[in-house]
């Protein structure tokens, strides 16, 4: 596998011919090797222009782009581009080529032999979770999500260390988009490319970026940093308003249940005395009690429903509505809590074992 390359923009500036204002204004930015940097901002902020200056589809007016310390302007332009994967909005797949031929584009330009190219194409199709029967089809026969995956496979074909993605998911519906985003993160965990992605969608930037780079109209850098940091401390009123409402919730979407230590909660074993259950409820200042059998949490009873009984049994037990795993985001956990009558989310591990409870005050502590 290729070694990842760092990208460094130094005083990068673009003024389009005939335009009074700058499209990109003396931008300094470093994307460390193996990281995803997301350029985000309103239209006219120069995010796409910046991206295209990396593979020289647009030549800068002044300033430099360095890839692994080497100025991009010194590399022959076709060589440079063959070493940089490029994914665009409407996929830009060649309609007259089959899926296999589309993916093989750069290997063919590089003069790979047929066998090596074919092996690589099959490897990529498997990697992207595409069916091999699609290889002989034309792009028009594919769904939007499949086309986007083929676009990514084509960009990865010659195993470039760098991937540029220009609004890659804006043309697919939200459900497919979410899945493709998850797939990209999964892919990145394995491949460790240096990725620059452009989007106008703040939530996409927060979800995908190791760092988000917020640009303002005229190509001015407002703030760059890890999403959690940017959300916690917006550098300017522009950034704060661009991040929009629900900044606290967006921060919660970056944190996971495993980041907090759930406590055991008001829980008794099946068959415990009602007197003991009342003690536990009092300690936790709640009017319900959870019931456990071994390492499973069966459900819960209202305190009033235990009146007249001697021991806590499973009859008439209520199930917990909000059940989460350590990998659940705190945002999703909070959503579960809001919809539950007990005001807690129950944490179970992948094997269904009870791990504790998350309360709303533990969550709000994390974003305060």
Within 8 A by CB and 6+ apart from 182, the residues are: none
Write down the residue that tokens 């204002």 correspond to: 21
Q: Segment near another protein (CB under 8 A), from 130-138, 209-217, 249-257, 287-295?
A: 130-138
Closest distance of CB 44 from another protein, Å? 19
> Closer CB to another protein, residue 13 or residue 105?
105
Closest distance of CB 325 from another protein, Å? 40
Closest distance of CB 2 from another protein, Å? 16
Within 8 A by CB and 6+ apart from 303, the residues are: 277, 278, 281, 287, 288, 289
Write down the residue that tokens 């350590």 correspond to: 326
Q: Would you count residue 81 as binding another protein (CB under 8 A)?
A: yes
Closest distance of CB 74 from another protein, Å? 16
Write down the residue that tokens 């990109």 correspond to: 24
Closest distance of CB 294 from another protein, Å? 54
Q: Would you count residue 109 as binding another protein (CB under 8 A)?
A: yes
> Closer CB to another protein, residue 127 or residue 171?
171
Q: How far apart are CA 48 and CA 55, in angstroms?
A: 11
Helix axes 360-367, 330-338, angle to 10 degrees: 140
Closest distance of CB 302 from another protein, Å? 59
Q: Would you count residue 95 as binding another protein (CB under 8 A)?
A: yes
Residues 162-181 within binding reach of another protein (CB under 8 A) = 164
Closest distance of CB 57 from another protein, Å? 6
Q: Would you count residue 247 as binding another protein (CB under 8 A)?
A: no
Binding residue for another protein (CB under 8 A) from 2, 21, 70, 141? 141
Q: How far apart are CA 36 and CA 185, in angstroms?
A: 9
> Closer CB to another protein, residue 141 or residue 185?
141
> Closer CB to another protein, residue 103 or residue 333?
103
Q: Would you count residue 91 as binding another protein (CB under 8 A)?
A: yes
> Closer CB to another protein, residue 133 or residue 283?
133
Strand pairing of 288-293 and 267-269? parallel
Q: Segment near another protein (CB under 8 A), from 33-41, 82-90, 116-124, 265-273?
A: 82-90
If you compute the radius of gyration of the chain from its CA atoms, what whole number of angstroms results? 26
Closest distance of CB 81 from another protein, Å? 4
Q: Would you count residue 78 as binding another protein (CB under 8 A)?
A: yes
Per rule CB under 8 A, count of chain residues that contact another protein = 31
Beta bridge partners of 195: 36, 163
> Closer CB to another protein, residue 20 or residue 74?
74
Q: Segment near another protein (CB under 8 A), from 88-96, 187-195, 216-224, 334-342?
A: 88-96
Q: Would you count residue 132 as binding another protein (CB under 8 A)?
A: no
- Beta carbons of 181 and 23 less than 8 angstroms apart: no
Q: Would you count residue 74 as binding another protein (CB under 8 A)?
A: no
Q: Segment near another protein (CB under 8 A), from 105-113, 234-242, 343-351, 358-366?
A: 105-113
Q: Would you count residue 55 as binding another protein (CB under 8 A)?
A: yes
Q: Would you count residue 63 as binding another protein (CB under 8 A)?
A: no
* Nearest Cα to Cα of residue 326 among 299, 296, 293, 356: 356
* Nearest Cα to Cα of residue 44 among 64, 14, 75: 14
Sign of CA dihedral 302, 303, 308, 310: positive
Q: Give 198-250 as a 3 state SS string.
A: EECCHHHHHHHCCEEEEEECCCEEEEEECHHHHHHCCCCHHHHHHHCCCHHHH
> Nearest 5°: phi and psi at 2?
-70, 150
* Nearest Cα to Cα of residue 51 among 199, 188, 161, 262: 199
What tokens were used for 324? 């989460």
- Could you list the residues that contact another protein (CB under 8 A)? 55, 57, 77-82, 84, 86, 88-98, 105-106, 109, 136-138, 140-141, 154, 164
């Amino acid at each position: 596998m290729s070694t990842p390359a760092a990208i460094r923009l130094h005083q990068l500036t673009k003024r389009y011919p005939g335009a009074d204002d700058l499209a990109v204004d003396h931008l300094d930015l470093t994307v460390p090797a193996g990281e995803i940097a997301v350029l985000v901002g309103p239209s006219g902020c120069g995010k796409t222009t910046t991206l295209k200056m990396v593979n020289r589809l647009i030549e800068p007016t002044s300033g430099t782009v360095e890839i692994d310390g080497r100025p991009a302007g010194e590399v022959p332009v076709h060589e440079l581009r063959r070493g940089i994967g490029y994914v665009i909005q409407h996929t830009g797949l060649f309609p007259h080529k089959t899926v296999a031929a589309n993916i093989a584009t750069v290997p063919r330009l590089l003069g790979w032999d047929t066998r090596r190219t074919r092996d690589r194409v099959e490897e990529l199709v498997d990697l992207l979770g595409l069916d091999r029967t699609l290889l002989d089809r034309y792009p028009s026969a594919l769904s939007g999500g499949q086309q986007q995956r083929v676009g990514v496979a084509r960009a990865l074909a010659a195993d470039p260390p760098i991937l540029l993605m220009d609004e890659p998911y804006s043309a697919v519906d939200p459900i497919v988009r979410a899945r493709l985003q998850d797939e990209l993160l999964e892919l990145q965990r394995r491949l460790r490319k240096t990725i620059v992605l452009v989007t106008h969608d703040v939530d996409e930037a927060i979800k995908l970026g190791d760092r988000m780079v917020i640009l303002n109209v005229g190509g001015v850098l407002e703030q760059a940093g890890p999403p959690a940091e940017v959300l916690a401390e917006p550098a300017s009123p522009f950034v704060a308003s661009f991040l929009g409402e629900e900044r606290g919730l967006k921060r919660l979407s970056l944190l996971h249940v495993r980041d907090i230590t759930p406590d055991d909660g008001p829980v008794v074993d099946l068959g415990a005395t009602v007197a003991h259950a009342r003690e536990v409820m009092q300690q936790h200042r709640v009017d319900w009690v959870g019931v456990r059998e071994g390492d499973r949490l069966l459900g819960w009873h209202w305190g009033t429903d235990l009146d007249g009984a001697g021991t806590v049994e499973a009859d008439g037990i209520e199930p917990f509505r909000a059940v989460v795993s350590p990998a659940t985001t705190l945002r999703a956990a909070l959503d579960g809590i809001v919809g539950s009558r007990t005001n807690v989310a129950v944490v179970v591990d992948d094997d269904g074992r009870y791990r504790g409870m998350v309360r709303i005050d533990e969550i709000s502590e994390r974003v305060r």
